[in-house]
Amino acid sequence: MSKRSMGLMVAMSIVVIGTIVFLKSRSTTPTGSDVSGAIGTVDKYRSEQITPSDVVTDSNSPAATEAFFAAIANDNATVDELSTLLGRCSAQERLNIYSRMDAQMVATILERAPEAERAELLGKATPEQRVEILGRMEPTQRAEILQKAGVDPSLFERASVEERATLVGKATPSLDRMSITQRAEVFNRATPEQRVEMLGRTTPEERIRFYDRATAAERAQVLGRATVEERASIIGRATIEERATVVSRMSVEGRAEILNRATIEQRAEIAERATVEERSTIIARAPEAERAALQGQATIEERVAFLKYATTAEKATFLERAPEAARADVFARAIVGERAEASLEKAPELEKKAGR
């Protein structure tokens, strides 16, 4: 090999080696996001830690509370117990709570009233309301009722709305003398809103008689619309044993919902009932990037965060393992919502005010 060829090969080798060294140094040079060294590592770790926002449970807004009560209304054991507790309230307290029913629920309850009571309620309708109700009837049926009331059907049909109200107003005594069946039939044509208005013109004693026909499920739903203080007044009538018993009798879904509405402190206490194996199984369901953070036990948020990956059955199991007093407290918190403890302390005072 000539000296010229040997020199060329040496030169090419130097270029290749230089290129490799240059590229290698480029791949290991820290970038702007990595030059923070150990501090940068700590920041990345902190971004994966559990915060309170990661473990927020269902809101205690009116809509969420009502949805919760609607959900447990399908739990027969729970609604029976809640219905019993509601029955311990004074008539005025029950009336205050029942007054929050929507028109459709009230109308449904009134449909279960005896015929005679519905006929009696029709007597609370204004002439204008009676005209509207009669307008929903078939012409032949309307004519028959008007004739019995001494009103000329043809004159009624030709009259204006105001004139019809005057005709019906004059014939009210005759309309009220119709048979119970006929009056109840007229009442049945009233809209839910009209039925509520008629009921509102009765005495408190009469209204409570109608409202107390609400089913256990309906009572549970209306509790969702009660104020925090009213629900506290109801729960305040239950002993610790009764509250704990309700939780034990609840369905798996009901117990899981109760736990979801617990305070973070209550959930932390209940989370401790999970075994190491159960906790590991639940954490394994989380995305791999979250698992390390879920293993944390340093803060209260870290201790409960893994529950968001627990199944309904697992949540119910952990709650059932809690002491009786803890289950009673969690139940009270779920029913009352925020400020449970303060509201429960005020319950006896509210009961006295309602009874005045």
Could you read off the pLDDT tens digit of each residue along the chain, which spans 356 residues?
555 555 545 455 554 455 544 444 444 444 444 433 333 333 333 334 434 344 434 445 667 776 777 767 667 777 788 888 888 888 888 999 998 899 999 999 999 999 999 999 999 999 999 999 999 999 999 999 999 888 999 999 999 999 999 999 999 898 888 999 999 999 999 999 999 999 999 999 999 999 989 888 888 788 878 888 888 888 888 899 989 988 888 889 888 988 988 999 999 999 999 999 999 999 999 999 999 989 888 899 989 999 999 999 999 999 999 999 999 999 999 888 754 444 344 444 434 444 44
Half-sphere exposure of 118 (CA within 13 A, CB side): 24
On the 0-12 / 13-18 / 19+ scale of CB atoms within 10 A, 11 is exposed
Q: What is the pLDDT of residue 339?
A: 47
Percent of the chain that is helix, strand, coil (3-state, to 5): 75, 0, 25
Residue 150, phi-psi category: left (phi > 0), alpha (psi -120 to 50), beta (remainder): left
Name every residue whose Cβ is closer than 8 Å to that of residue 102 and which is 6 or more positions away in sequence. none
Distance of CA 334 to the CA centre of its chain: 10
- Answer whether 71's CB lies under 8 Å from 257's CB: yes
The predicted pLDDT at position 40 comes to: 39
Q: Are 296 and 302 in contact (CB under 8 A)?
A: yes
What is the biggest distance separating any 2 CA atoms in the chain, rounded to whole angstroms?
Answer: 137
Label residue 250 exposed, middle or buried (CB < 10 Å: 0-12, 13-18, 19+): buried
**pLDDT at residue 106 in the model:** 94
Q: Determine the pLDDT at residue 51.
A: 42
DSSP state of 275: -
pLDDT of residue 322: 94
Contact 282, 310 (CB under 8 A): yes
CB 182 within 8 A of CB 145: yes
Nearest to 123, CA basis, from 176, 185, 201: 176
Q: What is the per-residue pLDDT for 283?
A: 95
**CA dist., res. 74 & res. 76, Å (int):** 6
Predicted model pTM: 0.62
Q: What is the pLDDT of residue 226?
A: 83
| H or E stretch covering 201 | none
